[in-house]
Amino acid sequence: MTSLSNKPLFNQFLSSLLFFHLLLIVLHFISSSTAPVSSLSSPFAHSSSKVKIEEETKEAMALLNWKTSLHNKSQSLLSSWVGTNPCNWVEINCDHSGSVTHLNLSSYGLRVTLHNLNFQSLPNLLSLNLSYNSLSGIINPNISHLSKLSLLDLSVNQFTGRIPSEIGKLTSLHIIDLSVNRMTGLIPQDVGALISLSKLDFSFNNLTGVIPTSLGNLSNLTTLYLHTTQLSGSIPQELGMLSSLIDLKLTTNNLIDVIPISLGNLSKLTTLYLFENQLSGSIPQELGMLSSLTDLDLSINNLIGVIPTSLRNLSKLTTLDLSINQLSSSIPQELEMLSTLTDLLLSINNLTGVIPTSLGNLSSLTTLYLHTNQLSGSIPQELGMLSSLIDLELSSNNLTGVIPTSLGNLSNLTTLYLHSNQLSGSIPQELGMLSSLTDLELLVNNLTGVIPTSFGNLSNLTILYLDENQFSGSIPQELGMLSSLTNLGLSENNLTGVIPTSFGNLSKLTTIYLHTNRLSGSFLQEFGIVSSLSDLKLSFYNFVGIIFASIGTLTKLTYFRLFTNKLSDLISFEQNNFTQLKEFHIFGNQFTGHLPENVCSGGLLENFTAYDNYFIGSIPKSLRNCTSLNRVRLNGNQLIGNIGESFGIYPRLTYMELSYNKLYGELSANWGQCQNLASLKISNNDISGRLPLELGEASQLQVLILSSNKIHGKIPKELGKLKFLLGLYLDGNKFSGQVPYNFEMLSNLEQLNLANNNLSGLIPNLGKSKTF
């Protein structure tokens, strides 16, 4: 009966169990009823996710495949390129869907080709910048698959081959830069299909052929760089249709024909560079319509005619360069209207007439080049108003009159070239006010008077050339204050007195020309202090006395010219250390003692002339192996020694003269190996023995003078091979036998002297030669 007493609890338990069971049945039914719906919707969601993953994987695999072809060092720079999500990799950007849109690896030092980069796997790429690397090979035509590409920059690499015509399919391109590569072939006409293009740069390549006329279709183009290639043909008229163009550079090509007048339509153009081509004809008046132009450079062409007066309309122009052409007529007064002009270069033309005074109104001018023309008249005083002027070059004209004192106002001037004119009068003291001046060249004029002492104020001056004038008086001591001076030329004037001792202060001096004046006195010891001196020319003086020992400290001396003076002792050269010496000229003095033993200690000596002195002793030993020698003249001394032991083989030697000395011994066969030797003169010595057969191998020999020696034996028939021989002097020796029959082959021989020998037989028919 107990179970009956608990019956309510039992019933409650059964009810709960039944409810739980029913709940499971309902849940199962719901699960079963919803299963078909779930199975219908899942394929779409799953498929979309799968496509996205496959796309990312495809792009990643394409980039990783390219990475494996990189040089090992290049691969290490892309260490983040791992996995299947390129959006996390260095220098890569993606869009919201995870597709690669930007690849920028500029200046990564990459060494690879594009051969293994599958462009078809990068359909959403907007910009590709691989500039400043070491990429090589060709640009693969499948680059056309980058249909959305806006920027393509492959500049400063080592690409070769042609520009693929398929690039014309990249119609979304705004910028294409293939500059500074090694690309060849033609520019494809297809480039004209890139109508969205704003910048095109194919410069610094080896492209050939003509500029495509299709470029005229690029109405959005602002920058067109085709310079420094090998393009030929004419400039297309169609370029005048590029209404948006701002910057046009076609320089350093082989372009011919005239400058198209259509370029005058380019109203937005600021830069027009056509220099270094072969353009001809006249400069179009229409260029005066380019109201936005700031830089116009037409230099280094074959342009003729006049400078158009229409250029006065270019109110924004800062640079006008028409130099190195064949322009004629006068300089237009109208150029004064170019108030913003900073650089005016009209040099190396055929311009005539006077320098316009109106140029003095160009207050912004920093550079004025009018040199190498046929300008006449005087230098306008008005040029002294150009307060901004830095560089003034008026040389190589026919200018007359005096140097204007107003030039002393040009406080910013660093370069003043007035040389090679017909200027007269004295140098204005006012030029000493040009405190910024570094280069002053007034040589080759008719200037008179004294050298201004005010030049001592030009503390920045590095070059001072006053040669070939009619200056008189003494050299101012004040020139010794020019502490920056490296080059000084005062030669071929009427200067008198002595060299100022203050020149010892010119510690930076490398070149000094004082020859052909009337200077006198002893040779300046202070020159030995100027350790930087490399070129010294003091010839045609009345110098007397000795060369001081301090001159031997000039270890950088390259050119030494001290000829035609009255100098005697040469004590310093016995101790010299001239390892840089290339030219050594001391002829026409009164030097005694020995020649400098180590004159070719540096092995660079080319020209050595010491003739007409009183030198004794032997030939310097350093000459024997001095293979750099070109010309040697030691004649007219009292040198002694065995000539057969004194000289070696000289592949560059063209002239050797040792006449009027006391050399003895036999001539060496080495002379025959001097393949460039044109003149060999060793007369009036004590040379004996036989004439070496090998002389016939000196194939360039034109003059052979061995007169007044003691050479004996037969004249070698091998001399008959010297087809360039003009003069042969063997007189005053002890030759015997007959004159070689093959001398008839010496068709160029003009002088033959065989007198005072022991020859016999007949002289061969020598045609035009004069025989003694």
Reported as a pLDDT band with limits 50, 70 and 90, residue 65 is very high
> Which residues, in sequence order, are bridge partners of residue 93?
102
Determine the average pLDDT of the residues in 261-288: 98
Reported as a pLDDT band with limits 50, 70 and 90, residue 567 is low
Torsion from C-alpha of 271, 272, 277, 281, nearest 10 degrees: -160
Most confident of 53-67, 152-166, 520-534: 152-166
Reported as a pLDDT band with limits 50, 70 and 90, residue 40 is very low
Q: Where are the beta strands (DSSP E) in 678-772?
A: 679-681, 686-688, 703-705, 712-714, 727-729, 734-738, 751-753, 758-760, 770-771
**pLDDT given at position 179:** 98
**pLDDT given at position 637:** 95
Burial class (CB in 10 A: 0-12, 13-18, 19+), 165: middle
**pLDDT given at position 769:** 62
**pLDDT given at position 540:** 55
Is the pLDDT confidence value at 44 over 50?
no
The tens digit of pLDDT for each residue in 469-481 reads 999 999 999 999 9
Specify the higher pLDDT residue, 196 or 499: 196
The tens digit of pLDDT for each residue in 87-129 reads 999 999 999 999 999 999 999 999 999 999 999 999 999 999 9
Size (the chain), residues:
772
Mean of all residue pLDDT scores within the chain: 89
**pLDDT given at position 547:** 54
**pLDDT given at position 528:** 54
Indicate the SS3 state at residue 401.
coil
* Token pair for 762: 């007949």
Determine the average pLDDT of the residues in 554-561: 79
The number of angstroms, rounded, from the C-alpha of 156 to the middle of its chain's C-alpha atoms is: 20
Rounded CA-CA distance 513/464 in Å is: 11
Reported as a pLDDT band with limits 50, 70 and 90, residue 568 is low
Least confidently predicted of 132-141, 478-487, 563-572, 599-608:
563-572
CB of 173 within 8 A of CB of 197?
Answer: yes
Is the pLDDT confidence value at 650 over 80?
yes
**pLDDT given at position 498:** 85
Is the pLDDT confidence value at 542 over 50?
yes
- Mention every residue, 6+ apart, whose C-beta is less than 8 A from residue 509: 485, 486, 487, 488, 503, 530, 532, 533
Specify the higher pLDDT residue, 9 or 604: 604
The tens digit of pLDDT for each residue in 212-253 reads 999 999 999 999 999 999 999 999 999 999 999 999 999 999
**pLDDT given at position 537:** 72
